[in-house]
Structure 1
């Protein structure tokens, strides 16, 4: 790329997300099993974890490379994971070389000013708060105060060793001489501030003489930019996004005092914007080092390309397995609910199907015998023991295990039984005598019809019982699946925004995994829809037969007994 020469002791940012890594659920909760090996596949590399979030499936890792080859040379970095018995091997202090005296990630909400280097030069945070940055979290300044870093170990700049200050910067509006940082010493003070949208470097020596230089062009508002200031025995050089943007030759200060960031010590010159990844090194970094840092840390970084997983060389893996591996926790919750709904709907369809099939057979057998009865013996098929049987058995158990010797599953027979029993209640009895002749008035016939209509309604209720479960599966399944998809898409975009890596490979796996919930919802609804329509048509046929039978029975008894 545009990093021409070799870069020694560089830190490379490794961004993991669903687009390039699908094994978060296979790792230990805090990434304790992670290891990085140099391209010889033997030499362990120092690294530390800025953020590891297996729930949202993203991680930010800093790896120290002994040397980065310049030009178009290809360099391989190996990452190992998956050892369930591994202990944490990250080493934040060892991830930086000795001159690096300060690195602020702003990634720990409980310790925003924590220094990641071994020097422990922790910052004192004022009114600034945490926000979203190009590399995880960032520090947001509201213009009323900044943060300070006391003079400490390693925070020293001399003409011989030089120094490097670097940070990521973003502000949405033009600034009124807002201070980015100043660093004082016995010989003077160095500061970088922003006028409008243009960064400016100013050095004030012990006599009060001022030298300053502005960046060659304003920086774009509402965008993240990498800013670095490098000092050596030749002077000061300002870099914007890895490219030189201004210089102060012959300015070689000695600085060893405290640093003030985001605002002056008295609260003036407050910055209204954000800073991330603020670092100070007690050495003058090369132009290629600065360019590599800017190019490798930016959200659209192309210096680091993620290869295939090593395990896939011995055997392929289906696309569907890859998609399922990327499903988030909320997606699995929705899928489990849908599986339960599917199981209930299938049980209802199976039980209803067997019950209705048995009802149709018993109805046919009963009607075949009923049509052979004359008008004088319409009650001959009745069994007085039916009431006791109905109290003891369910429709499904009757369909599965009944002997069906007397139409046990026939709902038409039960309507017939109700009509015959109502008719017998109107027959006068005397001790030792036969039943007297039954004469029915119009009101009596209507009473028998009302009894049979009541039995018919109850039989229809039995036929339609549990059908609402299919309706819930049909209407609720797709909406639950859509809910899982929407939440999954939201989490995918949030994770990508937090990691700062925006490309098709980062988006596609998360979106595909989110759509699994919609597929699951449709898989629940479609069989339930077919089953509901089939069972509904059979229930309508049985209901029509029951209505026709009531009319026929009432007509026969009216003819016989009126």
Structure 2
């Protein structure tokens, strides 16, 4: 129809008020940050899984811990695994304290304490930056909602200024409000999915390290008794 004006999404973004534009910019930056974190941490998780697979192969092939430590130190992929870090920490502690004549219960506790520290450092390394995803996923919808409310307020102000409640008067404000909502959801949805998936993988890795620590404690105790 004659007199109608078509607005593209880009026109509405450029024509939005300063506050709504700032909200959109913040949400775009948050979305970029979340995608970078998801990409980097996903690659880190893949590298961790490969390192653990390499270590697992050596662990099941070794005749004793001395051979295992030597084989792990010769293979870079296995040496970079969290299990290798746990092994080195527990093995060194057991060896050092056994030479000092410490009784077995004290050896066990000291060894597990050293392995627990190594495991915590590994989990902290994988868990770093995931809190940022949690913040983005929880706050982005509310930031977008703020832009939505501001856009609707502009629509009401236009109605008051013109004295008319026609579509041409309220449409731009409503449209920019909805775009702000879309920006908020676009930033939040990948963040919450990425956070949940990555957190679950970290928890799975932690459980694996805890099981390995229990198994290694038994092996070290048998070696002390022998």
Q: TM-score if structure 2 supplies the norm length?
A: 0.89
Residue 537 of structure 1: how far off its partner (Å)? 2.0
8 Å Cα contact 1:440-1:558 kept in structure 2: no
Residue 506 of structure 1: how far off its partner (Å)? 1.1
Q: Any stretches of 5+ residues in structure 1 without a counterpart?
A: 1-305, 310-316, 387-403, 430-437
Show the counterpart of 1:307: 3
8 Å Cα contact 2:98-2:107 kept in structure 1: no
Residue 415 of structure 1: how far off its partner (Å)? 1.0
- 1:332-380 CA-partner distances (Å, limit 9, x unpaired): 1001111111111111111110011100111111011112223xx3133
8 Å Cα contact 2:91-2:220 kept in structure 1: no
Residue 509 of structure 1: how far off its partner (Å)? 2.2
2:203 aligned with 1:528, yes or no?
A: no
Show the counterpart of 1:337: 26
Larger strand share, 1 or 2: 1
Q: Any stretches of 5+ residues in structure 2 without a counterpart?
A: none
Show the counterpart of 2:59: 370
- Relative to structure 1, is the Cα distance of residues 545 and 337 closer, same or farther in structure 2, using a 3 angstrom cutoff? same
8 Å Cα contact 2:55-2:79 kept in structure 1: no
Secondary structure class of the residue paired with 1:307: coil
Show the counterpart of 1:462: 125
Show the counterpart of 2:179: 516
8 Å Cα contact 2:141-2:184 kept in structure 1: yes
2:104 aligned with 1:441, yes or no?
A: yes
Distance 1:418 1:523 in 2: 44
8 Å Cα contact 2:42-2:198 kept in structure 1: yes
Computed over aligned residues only, the root mean square deviation of the Cα atoms, in angstroms, reads 2.4
Residue 451 of structure 1: how far off its partner (Å)? 1.0
Secondary structure class of the residue paired with 1:501: coil
Q: TM-score if structure 1 supplies the norm length?
A: 0.37
2:86 aligned with 1:415, yes or no?
A: yes
Distance 1:408 1:444 in 2: 24
Bigger Cα Rg: 1
- Relative to structure 1, is the Cα distance of residues 406 and 425 closer, same or farther in structure 2, using a 3 angstrom cutoff? farther
Show the counterpart of 2:68: 381
Distance 1:340 1:421 in 2: 46
Secondary structure class of the residue paired with 1:381: helix
8 Å Cα contact 1:414-1:455 kept in structure 2: yes
Secondary structure class of the residue paired with 1:382: helix
Secondary structure class of the residue paired with 2:155: helix
2:194 aligned with 1:507, yes or no?
A: no
8 Å Cα contact 2:87-2:115 kept in structure 1: yes
- 1:124-144 CA-partner distances (Å, limit 9, x unpaired): xxxxxxxxxxxxxxxxxxxxx
8 Å Cα contact 1:488-1:511 kept in structure 2: yes
- 1:467-517 CA-partner distances (Å, limit 9, x unpaired): 011101110010000001101111221132123232122112210111111
8 Å Cα contact 2:13-2:21 kept in structure 1: no
Of the candidates 50, 73, 92, which is equivalent to residue 361 of structure 1? 50
Secondary structure class of the residue paired with 2:61: coil
Residue 446 of structure 1: how far off its partner (Å)? 1.6
Show the counterpart of 2:12: 323
Distance 2:66 2:36 in 1: 38
- Pairs within 5 Å for 1:193-272: none
Secondary structure class of the residue paired with 2:27: helix
Moved over 6 A (4+): none
8 Å Cα contact 1:492-1:510 kept in structure 2: yes
Of the candidates 481, 485, 494, which is equivalent to residue 144 of structure 2? 481
Secondary structure class of the residue paired with 2:137: helix
